């Protein structure tokens, strides 16, 4: 398709092209807003009846106003092009998310399907709309994290139009398609979407579609037949049994075995989130597309039944109810027709319900004469009119209005006004639910900035403490919403803790490398390790620690210059300095190029002198310690600690390391502790070897097996055995806390057991 042109819109870019339609990103000029435009393929727009159905159902879809549904703004035709103007959503599909992750957590999957169920419940109750193509790629998560259903009210129409062009095309996607869809049944209801959502939930938590690996036509045969898929708990053992029972229930092959409506689905989801089993009896085994694992038993379920007859009776009951509903519908249609043909004046205008505006109302016509009415019918009409007038005047009191119309329906039974009252009850019920939902949507919108700023507790409290309009009626939904927000906070907190723990572990590993290079290599090697690790993006939050360590090491590497500079105060004076080669009495002349320049008198030659120089490395450890400065300086404490450790003055080393940077001190002291233990172990080894020699055994370096063999080959003389026991007891007392004594326990027992 060339660059699209539609009056009133600036086309920005193509978002995708499919066999049935193309999608474009555009700017609606009149409102200066970004929208998405779906343009039907020309091959889809050839049949007049198809186009009329498409326009009608698109207009019904446009009536759906729900935060979880991509809003349809308009539907129109121009120059043979049929297009739908929709809300533009910048985000990603659940399919994209699943492809990145491989499998979603149970918590995330339940959150997604609960949001989808909420949207589908609204569409089913408001306009009787079903989707018929629920799958991860038709669920979008926008930039705010809101879950939105795409193509609701349109997928079925467009797909049906496509089916007319291609006899082999079937409505829906085989892996998510309900058995009744796969068979081509025409009387689909919300339970078809419930099956599809169950198939999507299975995919989200296992990473596998139903009947994965088979061609589409084979999958459709398997959907309608007895074929089953592996229990999700076998694929993903982390899943709760409660979730697996829910999936089994939603994927019942006979729709009468599934939840009856979306309210039941959402109730079961809520129960599973709380660790409870789905409501109602257990399906007989073999009824569902999901094969039941041995890990799940009927005893798991709080309410169980294994009677297949009960399920069949329920199916029979549903068919009976369906027939009764059909009879009532036909009778209602006849009554309505009689009413419309017999009434000489137009019916009274419908009540203006909360949240709606009645437009295009027809004023009552002037009727010159009115036929006489039956008194019973007259009373019924007056009763209905009074209830209708009361409802108009009390727009917010839905419950009382419904109660009044229920009374009309009961007391005018057998008249058209009873049917009219029932119709008003249905409208009021839908309007009431819509008003309640508007409260929830308004609260969600109000707390969205708080959630963005991660003030989850305030957001949850705002929703749970709401005391405005319909507070009591929306309490249960608000509690669930508050719980979801708190779970969101908990998940974020846990994620932060996990990330912080990973950073701490990485920092710990870096400090280990830093100390190792400082002790075993050089200050330069340690400093280079410090510079390299400071560039690690994972450790960017440790910037202050790295800055402190850089200052410490830069000052440490300048210690020798500081020592040499300490001789500046003695220029022109005769001093005695301790060099590694011995003490030297000189007159300090100058400091140059990191060296001390001195003049030494040659006593053997009278007044003769000679010039000598030395640097910091020429000084004895004692001279260096004296000229380093105060231990309160972290770099001085570190330098002195390193010198003490090198000379095995472990007590001094620990004292000095305790005064250096806290970032390093604990690790350095641990190194000293290990060195001390090693030294004591060496002393313990030497002492035991000496003990054995005193007892007449000639042993070499410690070799447990060799030493035991020496003891086995030669017994301790009887007069010396008591002395041997005493020597071992003293040895144990002297070295009781050493690792070596533990390693040599068998040798000590061999000595005392002779």
Question: Which of these is catalytic: 114, 118, 121, 133?
Answer: 133
Q: Is 458 exposed, middle or buried (0-12, 13-18, 19+ CB in 10 A)?
A: middle
For residues 724-745, one letter each, b for 16 or more C-beta atoms within 10 angstroms of the residue's C-beta and e for the rest, the string is beebbeebeeebeebebbeebe
Q: Could you tell me where the DSSP H helices lie in 649-734?
A: 650-657, 662-694, 704-713, 718-734
Q: Which ranges constitute the DSSP H helices of 394-535?
A: 398-411, 416-452, 456-464, 475-520, 523-533
Query: Within 10 A of 499 (CB to CB), how many other CB atoms are there?
Result: 12
Give catalytic status of residue 133 as yes or no: yes
How big is the CA angle at 220 (ends 215 and 221), to the nearest 5 degrees?
A: 100
Find out whether 588 and 567 touch, Cβ atoms under 8 Å. yes
**Rounded-to-integer distance, Cα 82 and Cα 77, Å:** 4
**H or E stretch at 114:** helix 106-127
Three-state DSSP at 594 gives coil
Separation between Cα atoms, residue 443 and residue 458, nearest integer Å: 12
Complete edge-to-edge strand list for the sheet that includes strand 9-17: 9-17, 21-28, 33-40, 81-87, 72-78
Residue 145 near residue 34, CB atoms below 8 Å: no
Distance (Å) of CA 128 to CA 211, 430, 636? 30, 12, 81
Measured CA to CA, the distance from residue 348 to residue 350 in angstroms comes to: 6
Among candidate residues 466, 527, 457, the one with its CA nearest the CA of residue 492: 457
d(CA 436, CA 398): 11
SS3 content of the chain, % helix, strand, coil (to 5): 60, 10, 30
Helix, strand or coil, per DSSP, at residue 82 = strand
- What's the CA gap between 542 and 537, in Å, rounded? 10
Over the range 223-235, which residues count as b (16 or more CB within 10 Å of their CB) and which as e? bbeebbbebbbbb
What DSSP letter does each residue of 11-63 carry, written as one string? EEEEEEE-SSEEEEEEEETTTTEEEEEEEE-GGGS--HHHHHHHHHHHHHHHT
Catalytic residue IDs: 133
């Amino acid at each position: 398709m060339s660059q699209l042109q539609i009056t009133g819109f600036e086309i920005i870019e193509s978002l995708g092209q499919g066999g049935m339609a193309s999608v474009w990103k555009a700017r609606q000029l009149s409102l200066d807003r970004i929208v998405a435009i779906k343009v039907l393929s020309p091959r889809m727009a050839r049949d007049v009846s198809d186009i009329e159905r498409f326009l009608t159902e698109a207009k019904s879809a446009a009536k759906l106003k729900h935060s979880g549904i991509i809003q349809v703004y308009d539907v129109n035709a121009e120059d043979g092009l049929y297009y739908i103007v929709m809300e533009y959503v910048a985000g990603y599909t659940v399919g994209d998310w699943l492809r990145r992750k491989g499998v979603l957590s149970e918590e995330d999957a339940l959150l997604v399907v609960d949001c989808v169920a909420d949207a589908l419940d609204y569409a089913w109750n408001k306009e009787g709309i079903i989707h018929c193509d629920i799958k991860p790629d038709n669920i979008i998560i926008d930039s705010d994290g809101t879950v939105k259903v795409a193509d609701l009210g349109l997928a079925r129409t467009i797909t049906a139009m496509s089916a007319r062009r291609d006899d082999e095309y079937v409505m829906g996607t085989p892996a998510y398609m309900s058995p009744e869809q796969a068979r081509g049944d025409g009387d689909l209801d919300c339970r078809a979407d419930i099956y599809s959502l169950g198939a999507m939930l299975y995919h989200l938590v296992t990473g596998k579609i139903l009947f994965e690996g088979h061609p589409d036509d084979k999958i459709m045969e398997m959907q309608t037949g007895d074929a089953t898929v592996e229990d999700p708990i076998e694929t993903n053992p982390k899943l709760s049994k409660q979730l697996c029972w829910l999936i089994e229930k939603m994927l019942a092959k006979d729709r009468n075995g599934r939840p009856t409506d979306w309210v039941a689905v959402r109730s079961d989801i809520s129960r599973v989130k709380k660790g409870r089993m789905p409501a109602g009896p257990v399906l007989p085994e073999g009824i569902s597309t999901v094969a039941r694992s041995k890990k799940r038993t009927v005893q798991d379920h709080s309410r169980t039944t294994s009677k297949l007859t009960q399920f069949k009776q329920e199916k029979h009951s549903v068919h009976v109810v369906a027939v009764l509903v059909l009879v009532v519908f036909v009778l209602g249609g006849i009554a309505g027709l009689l009413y419309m043909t017999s009434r000489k004046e137009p019916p009274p205008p419908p009540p203006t319900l909360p949240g709606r505006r009645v437009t295009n109302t027809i004023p009552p016509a002037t009727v010159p004469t009115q036929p006489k009415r039956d008194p019973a019918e007259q009373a019924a009409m007056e009763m209905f009119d009074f209830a209708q007038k009361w409802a108009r005047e009390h727009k917010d009191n839905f419950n009382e209005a419904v109660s009044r119309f229920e009374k009309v329906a009961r007391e005018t039974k057998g008249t058209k006004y009873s049917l009219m009252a029932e119709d008003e009850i249905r409208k009021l019920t839908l309007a009431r639910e819509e008003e309640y939902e508007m409260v929830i949507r308004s609260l969600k919108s109000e707390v969205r900035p708080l959630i963005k700023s991660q003030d989850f507790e305030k957001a949850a409290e705002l929703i749970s403490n709401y005391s405005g309009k319909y507070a009591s009626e929306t309490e249960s939904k608000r509690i669930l919403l508050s719980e979801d927000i708190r779970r969101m906070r908990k998940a974020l907190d846990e994620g932060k803790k996990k990330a912080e723990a990973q950073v701490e572990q990485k920092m710990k590993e870096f400090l280990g490398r830093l100390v190792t290079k400082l002790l075993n290599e050089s200050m330069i090697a340690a400093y280079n390790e410090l510079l390299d690790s400071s560039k690690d993006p994972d450790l960017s939050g440790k910037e202050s620690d790295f800055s402190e360590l850089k200052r410490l090491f830069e000052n440490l590497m300048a210690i020798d210059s500081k020592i040499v500079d300490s001789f500046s105060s003695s220029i022109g004076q005769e001093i005695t300095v301790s060099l590694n080669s011995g003490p030297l009495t000189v007159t300090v002349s100058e400091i140059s190029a990191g060296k001390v320049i001195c003049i030494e008198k040659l006593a053997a030659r009278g007044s003769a002198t000679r010039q000598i120089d030395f640097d910091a490395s020429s000084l004895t450890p004692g001279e260096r310690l004296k000229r380093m400065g105060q231990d309160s300086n972290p770099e001085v404490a570190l330098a002195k600690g390193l010198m003490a450790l090198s000379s095995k003055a472990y007590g001094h080393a620990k004292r000095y390391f305790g005064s250096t940077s806290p970032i390093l001190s604990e690790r350095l002291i641990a190194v000293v502790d290990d060195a001390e233990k090693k030294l004591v172990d060496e002393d313990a080894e030497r002492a035991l070897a000496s003990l054995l020699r005193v007892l007449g055994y000639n042993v070499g370096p410690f070799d447990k097996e060799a030493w035991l063999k020496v003891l086995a080959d030669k017994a301790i003389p009887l007069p010396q055995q008591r002395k041997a026991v005493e020597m071992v007891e003293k040895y144990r007392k002297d070295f009781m806390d050493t690792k070596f004594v533990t390693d040599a326990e068998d040798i000590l027992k061999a000595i005392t057991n002779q």
